[in-house]
Amino acid sequence: MKKTKNEEQNLKAAPPYKNHVTLVGYLGDKPDLYEGLAVLSMATKTSWKPKDSDEWKERTEWHRVVAWGKLAEAVKPLAKGDHVLVEGELRSNEYEATVEVKGGGKAVVNRKTWEIRARHVRKLVHKKQEQEKAQAKAA
């Protein structure tokens, strides 16, 4: 039995690799601007309640987000505390660093860093913030 073109398209497999990151959080400071790029420090938070406790626990994770070209220009007006959505890909970098050793001396160690290379950055606004701005304009 011959398959239709539509059926053949539906049988295609997903790509074997995907590197896509979506983060929603708050900026820890205004973007650091350099020629052709901007670096954002972004915080995300995870909260949970352990089974054996009535108290909530939380963990804040800090992310280095790098925007290039036109996107770097577009993020210039962002400020500390802004609520943002970032989409991009995870990138790693490796380098050697010289560190002090306890008891004296120095050692060269390999370091690995991670960053998000942004494709999209969107400033988010809460309804509460919109209402406060509207009330301030009306006053």
Q: Write down the domain spans for the chain.
A: 19-138
**Maximum Cα–Cα distance across the chain:** 77
pLDDT band at 111 (very low <50, low <70, confident <90, very high): very high
The class level of CATH for 19-138 reads mainly beta
Would the pLDDT of 62 be above 90? yes
Q: What is the spatial distance between Cα 88 and Cα 66, in angstroms, rounded to a whole number?
A: 9
What whole-number distance in Å separates Cα of residue 40 and Cα of residue 93?
17
Q: What pLDDT digit, counting tens, does each position of 6-15 carry? A: 665 666 777 7
At 51, list the tokens.
């089974």
38-53 pLDDT per residue, tens: 999 999 999 999 888 8
- Find, among 57, 63, 58, 66, the residue nearest to 31 by Cα: 66
Stated pTM of the model: 0.74
